[in-house]
């Protein structure tokens, strides 16, 4: 893309950071070193060719390092110290967006897989149940443009979690049945579970104590509250929620 032809550091930073998709690539790399396929799964609408181009450009600009995997084919992508300095900017963009973009969400923005990947990544490991604990999500009113399934499972097996697209075969502790839009807004903190739209659009099925555990794990509250997202590796999420 052509530059702004200004020496101003804001202009020069914008030439790099304000490229389409670049902030989202940096957002993903804030979670720690990762591989190409994982980036592609988190950015499904970005072509492989464009993702490769952006990563190479970020490497050339000193924002990203690209290293060969210790074993097997492929590469590992991570932020350099200069790239890490974008982390506060990503966090500020998240807070600003929560406060000022709620009214411009459209059905095409909703994705159950991306939602549950985000849910999974924001749960601190010290809060995981000691034994296996399975939450099944059943989503209704999916966007017509999506080809995603309606049922998903998050399996807690301390100290790990797995997001399953197929039935893992374990007994279900709690089933969450919800309109995708309503659940997304509740998890983001835009609405509370006690709000009328949430009471109509979200249902929890399971023993009361297990349901309360799910609400605590997912940080779902009766009243709206601003959610602070942690853009970092699991240990950073653990520390922030301690």
Q: What is the residue extent of each domain of the chain? A: 9-100, 104-217
Q: What is the pLDDT, as a whole number, of residue 1? A: 59
User: What phi and psi, each to the nearest 5 degrees, are found at residue 53?
Assistant: -60, -45
CA distance 74 to 137: 33
pLDDT over 90 (residue 73): no
Q: What is the pLDDT, as a whole number, of residue 26? A: 98
CA distance 6 to 135: 53
Architecture of the domain defined by 9-100: Orthogonal Bundle (1.10)
Q: What is the pLDDT, as a whole number, of residue 149? A: 77
Q: Please tell me what DSSP assigns to residue 107.
A: G
User: What phi and psi, each to the nearest 5 degrees, are found at residue 236?
Assistant: -70, -40
CA distance 63 to 69: 19
Per residue in 10-59, pLDDT (tens digit) is 999 999 999 999 999 999 999 999 999 999 999 999 999 999 999 999 99
CB 34 within 8 A of CB 77: yes
The band of 85, judged by pLDDT with boundaries at 50, 70 and 90, is very high
Q: What is the mean pLDDT of residues 107-127?
A: 93
pLDDT over 80 (residue 209): yes
Decide which of 159 and 217 is more confident.
Answer: 217
Per residue in 149-162, pLDDT (tens digit) is 799 999 999 889 99
Q: Range with the lowest mean pLDDT among 1-15, 47-61, 81-95? A: 1-15
Q: What is the mean pLDDT of residues 118-128?
A: 94
Classify strands 174-179 and 133-140 as parallel, antiparallel or unpaired: parallel
Closest C-alpha among 149, 144, 156 to residue 115: 149
Q: Would you say how long the chain is, in residues?
A: 242
CA distance 18 to 120: 28
The domain 104-217: what is its CATH number?
A: 3.30.1050.10
Closest C-alpha among 103, 108, 55, 104 to residue 83: 55
The band of 95, judged by pLDDT with boundaries at 50, 70 and 90, is very high
Q: What is the mean pLDDT of residues 135-144?
A: 92
pLDDT over 70 (residue 242): no
Q: What is the mean pLDDT of residues 209-229?
A: 96
Q: What is the pLDDT, as a whole number, of residue 70? A: 84
Q: Do domains 9-100 and 104-217 have the same CATH topology?
A: no
CA distance 52 to 40: 10
Average pLDDT, the chain: 94
Q: What is the pLDDT, as a whole number, of residue 10? A: 94
Q: What is the pLDDT, as a whole number, of residue 143? A: 82
């Amino acid at each position: 893309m052509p530059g702004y032809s200004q020496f101003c550091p804001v202009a020069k930073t914008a030439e790099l950071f304000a490229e389409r998709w670049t902030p989202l690539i940096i957002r993903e790399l804030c979670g720690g070193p990762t591989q190409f396929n994982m980036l592609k799964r988190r950015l499904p609408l970005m072509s492989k060719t464009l993702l490769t181009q952006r990563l190479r450009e970020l490497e050339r600009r000193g924002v990203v390092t690209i290293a060969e995997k210790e074993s097997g084919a492929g590469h590992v992508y991570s932020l350099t110290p200069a790239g890490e300095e974008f982390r506060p900017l990503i966090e500020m963009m998240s807070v600003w967006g929560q406060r000022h973009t709620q009214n411009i969400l459209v059905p095409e923005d909703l994705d159950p897989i991306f939602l549950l990947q985000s849910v999974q990544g924001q749960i601190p490991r010290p809060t995981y149940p000691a034994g296996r604990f399975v939450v099944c999500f059943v989503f209704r009113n999916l966007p017509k443009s999506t080809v995603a399934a309606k049922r998903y499972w998050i399996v807690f097996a301390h100290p790990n979690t797995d997001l399953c697209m197929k039935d893992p075969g374990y007994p279900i502790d709690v089933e969450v049945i919800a309109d995708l839009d309503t659940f997304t807004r509740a998890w983001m903190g835009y609405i509370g579970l006690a709000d009328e739209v949430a009471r109509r659009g979200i249902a929890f099925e399971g023993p009361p104590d297990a349901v309360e555990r799910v609400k605590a794990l997912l940080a779902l509250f009766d009243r709206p509250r601003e959610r602070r997202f942690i853009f970092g590796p699991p240990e950073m999420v653990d520390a922030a929620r301690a």
